């Protein structure tokens, strides 16, 4: 039994007594994490294997200076390639790009941010660095000692372990995979440090069915995103139907943001940001935060769109209507409003109509456009608007 805080009021001794009688429930610590989809930054999409301590510090600085931290982007997540060798006792060391992980964590924390790290249940990570295989508890303890707040655990070479040990028995391989994720879950709980647990195994074996059982606060539902409209939209729009698996503390993760990385048009990045918000997806910026133009900032820091993603109801949105490449998605919100996004996946600008009854309204609604930041007044019956090619119009409708 471990109390996280000293009990401070003598008059509340009975509370102390009740708490002391409760069985130790580390699982509780884990499920109160990520009550809204995690927001922050991750090094992979822009820096990939080159990321250094200096890049991570610069990202932390930029989160503060740009206003992103205050908009909710809290996690500073180091992806693959920080790992060094193990010492004689088997403790994982950092490599020369990261001279002192504890000092880096202290720096990130001093900015009011949290630090994330990356590993694999396999012997090697996807980039061929040291994984946690056979060292799960030791690594979790090291992360906790450093002050890590978030772990992305990427299947990578554990696939080979599964293949070898399952002898072609697919069911056995899937069971091994779940057990590997559960093993690290237990290791994290044993540290008694709240660490957000991010599963990364590309959505295999319908992870949304078992991700919560192995302690996942989020789980990747797809293969890797890349900075182009076709890949982003393929991933994003394929999330239709997964809404029922998401809830506070457990989120579908269609991968990190590419906004600001330069290979999509502003309308396409607005689609990316809007769709991820409708999906209650984690918002992990993947660009170089120290070099952001105003358009990138306006997209990543659109507070009205972020509010849709982070809405306390915690219900993921879903597609309610599609006519060819024209799609209408709806996400219910805590105050009885609904976020409604009209997506134009076609190759030319086109008018799209939303029928209010299709998004659950049988009377008039007050409408606000979340990209033009304009009140549209009262809508009755339907709303038609020209949506740019590959673009979006995102509304908040209140009865």
Q: Which residue ranges make up the site for ligand GLA (CB under 6 A)?
A: 44, 79-80, 125-127, 154, 200, 224
Q: How far is the CB of 200 from ligand GLA (least distance, A)?
A: 5
The nearest distance, CB 94 to ligand GLA, in angstroms, is 16
* Euclidean distance between CA atoms 136 and 133, whole angstroms: 6
For helices 101-110 and 53-66, angle between their N-to-C axes, nearest 10 degrees = 0
Q: How far is the CB of 35 from ligand GLA (least distance, A)?
A: 24
What's the closest the beta carbon of residue 237 comes to ligand GLA, in angstroms? 19
Kindly tell me which of 126 and 140 has the beta carbon lying closer to ligand GLA.
126
The question of whether 154 is a catalytic residue gets the answer yes
Q: Two tokens at 72?
A: 């909710």
Shortest Cβ distance from residue 147 to ligand GLA (Å)?
21
Nearer to ligand GLA, 263 or 373 (CB): 263
CA dist 322 → 9, 234, 326, 381 (Å): 57, 15, 6, 18
Q: Tell me how far apart the alpha carbons of residues 256 and 285 are, in angstroms, rounded to a whole number.
A: 6
In the bound state with ligand GLA, the residue whose beta carbon lies nearer, of 239 and 337, is 239
| Active-site position among 80, 154, 253, 255 | 154
**Contacts with 9 (C-beta within 8 Å, 6 or more apart), sequence order:** none
80 vs 309, beta carbon nearer ligand GLA: 80
Q: Which of 61, 141, 205, 224 is catalytic?
A: 224
- CA–CA–CA angle 49, 268, 58 (5° rounding): 35
Q: Which DSSP state fits 24? A: P
Q: Is the dihedral of CA 201, 204, 206, 210 positive or negative?
A: negative
Nearer to ligand GLA, 205 or 358 (CB): 205
**What is the C-alpha separation between 377 and 365, in angstroms, rounded?**
8
Which positions are annotated as active-site residues?
154, 224
């Amino acid at each position: 039994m471990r109390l996280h805080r000293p009990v401070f009021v003598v008059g509340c001794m009975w509370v102390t007594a009740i708490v002391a009688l409760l069985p130790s429930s580390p699982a509780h610590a884990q499920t109160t994490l990520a009550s809204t989809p995690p927001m922050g930054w991750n090094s992979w999409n822009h820096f990939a294997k080159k990321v250094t301590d200096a890049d991570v510090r610069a990202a932390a600085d930029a989160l503060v200076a740009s206003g992103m931290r205050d908009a909710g982007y809290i996690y500073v997540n180091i992806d693959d390639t920080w790992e060094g060798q193990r010492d004689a006792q088997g403790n994982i060391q950092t490599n020369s790009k990261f001279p002192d992980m504890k000092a880096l964590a202290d720096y990130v924390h001093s900015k009011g941010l949290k630090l994330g790290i990356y590993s694999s249940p396999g012997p090697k990570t996807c980039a061929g660095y040291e994984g946690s295989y056979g060292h799960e508890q030791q690594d979790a303890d090291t992360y906790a000692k450093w002050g890590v707040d978030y772990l992305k655990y990427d299947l990578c070479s554990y696939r080979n372990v599964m293949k070898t040990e399952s002898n072609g028995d697919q069911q056995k391989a899937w069971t091994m995979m779940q057990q590997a994720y559960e093993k690290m879950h237990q290791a994290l709980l044993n540290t008694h440090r709240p660490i957000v647990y991010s599963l990364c195994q590309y959505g295999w074996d319908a992870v949304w069915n078992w991700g919560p059982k192995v302690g996942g606060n989020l789980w990747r539902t797809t293969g890797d995103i890349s900075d182009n409209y076709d890949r982003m939209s393929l991933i994003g729009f394929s999330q239709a139907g997964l809404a029922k698996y998401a809830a506070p503390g457990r989120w579908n993760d269609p991968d990190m943001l590419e906004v600001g990385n330069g290979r999509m048009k502003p309308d396409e990045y607005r689609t990316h940001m809007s769709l991820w918000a409708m999906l209650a997806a984690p918002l992990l910026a993947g660009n170089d935060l120290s070099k952001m133009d105003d358009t990138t900032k306006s997209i990543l820091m659109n507070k009205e769109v972020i509010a849709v993603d982070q809405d306390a109801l915690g219900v993921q949105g879903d597609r309610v209507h599609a006519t060819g490449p024209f799609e209408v998605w709806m996400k219910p919100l805590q105050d009885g409003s609904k976020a409604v996004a009209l997506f134009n996946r076609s190759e030319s600008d086109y008018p799209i109509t939303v029928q209010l009854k299709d998004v659950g309204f049988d009377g008039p609604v007050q409408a606000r456009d979340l990209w033009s930041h304009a009140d549209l007044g009262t809508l009755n019956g339907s709303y038609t608007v020209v949506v740019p090619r590959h673009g979006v119009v995102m509304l908040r409708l209140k009865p």
